[in-house]
Amino acid sequence: MKLPPLPFTAVDWSAMPAEKHPGETGFALWRTMQTGDIRVRVVEYSPGYLADHWCDRGHVIYVLAGELESELRDGRRTVLTAGMGYQVSDFGDAAHRSSTKDGATLFIVD
């Protein structure tokens, strides 16, 4: 990832408007800041959320609250709790999708 030239920017995530994205079950609320090709988000998953797609995009993810299960298309599963995270690239065979039983809040850079 190469960050483009940008000024120092403080963000009040609680004041950012949330976009609702339905999952196969549940929904995600995205608060997003876009700078060039870099997207920075705080994402809140509702209890019972299951993504409606396999994602091939690279991310750096940090779990702020709750518990998230990340499933890879090849069947591998990883459970992440607050304070944990993962990185995945745009390249390779790491298509993934997220789910949560009780809800989760993430900080994501992609």
Give the angle 35-36-40 at the CA atoms, nearest 5°: 40
| Amino acid 1: pLDDT | 64
Kindly state the tokens that stand for 39.
Answer: 């997207």
pTM over 0.95: no
Express each pLDDT in 29-61 by its tens digit: 999 999 888 899 999 999 999 999 999 988 999
pLDDT at 109 exceeding the cut of 90: yes
The upper half-sphere exposure of residue 17, i.e. CA atoms within 13 Å in the direction of its Cβ, equals: 1
CB-CB contact of 51 with 95 (8 Å)? no
Classify 99 as helix, strand or coil.
strand
